[in-house]
């Protein structure tokens, strides 16, 4: 089993607008940090863009149209376990970007992310990710769609994330992210 994460947001301006340039300049460094992080398995790319292949046709949650936007920012990746995903998400390069998110994204009335377990034989698809994201918003955390605050094990039982292991993994990741972290800290917000 592996854990999948999908996140989604709507930015305050188009991707190439100077108002979100801090995000756009950090994004490739975040992808590089993920690739170096312990427990990272892979991520979907985006159709028509260089990088990894897209995991099916990219779709967006209904919140995009409800907010009158034409595009949103989203990512979709696979990880070994919740601890490695949490270590990447809330430390180092990615944490540095998270602290500036309010500068680039509109306030949201939906969850920032959804997590779920996938069998190693299953192919990840954007359509499944968006379905689970909307399910989490509509019904709250469940074994099919959950978050870091209310996580579930692969067998569907509620669990506690091992925070000591998260700290250990984050410390190991820090060495591989040192120059990336210096680079993102030098980028204007």
Domain hosting residue 9, numbered range: 2-185
Mean pLDDT of the chain: 96
Q: Which residues pair with 40 in a beta bridge?
A: 79
Question: Mean pLDDT lowest for which of 28-32, 63-67, 148-152?
Answer: 63-67
- d(C-alpha 20, C-alpha 114), whole Å: 24
> Is the pTM value of this prediction over 0.85?
yes
Number of structural domains (the chain) is: 1
User: Tell me, what CATH number does 163's domain have?
Assistant: 3.30.70.100
Q: What is the pLDDT of residues 87-99, one digit of tens each?
A: 999 999 999 999 9
- pLDDT for position 34: 98
| Nearest Cα to Cα of residue 148 among 104, 90, 92, 95 | 90
Two tokens, residue 184: 């993102």
Give CA angle at 58 (103, 126), nearest 5°: 100
Asked whether 22 and 104 are in contact (CB, 8 A), the reply is yes
């Amino acid at each position: 089993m592996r854990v999948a994460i999908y996140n989604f947001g709507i930015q305050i301006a188009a991707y190439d607008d100077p108002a979100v340039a801090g995000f756009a300049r950090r994004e490739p460094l975040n992808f590089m940090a993920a690739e170096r992080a312990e427990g990272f398995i892979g991520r979907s790319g985006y159709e028509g863009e260089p990088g990894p292949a897209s995991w099916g046709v990219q779709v967006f949650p209904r919140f995009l149209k409800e907010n009158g936007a034409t595009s949103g920012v989203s990512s979709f990746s696979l990880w070994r376990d919740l601890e490695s995903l949490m270590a990447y998400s809330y430390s180092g390069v990615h944490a540095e970007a998270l602290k500036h998110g309010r500068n680039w994204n509109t306030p949201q009335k939906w969850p920032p992310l959804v997590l779920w377990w996938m069998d190693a034989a299953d192919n990840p698809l954007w359509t499944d990710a968006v379905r689970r994201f909307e399910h989490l918003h509509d019904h709250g955390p469940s074994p099919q769609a959950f978050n870091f605050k209310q996580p579930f094990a692969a067998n569907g039982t509620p669990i506690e994330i091992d925070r000591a292991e998260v700290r250990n993994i984050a410390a190991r990741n820090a060495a591989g992210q040192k120059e990336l972290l210096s680079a993102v800290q030098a980028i204007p917000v």
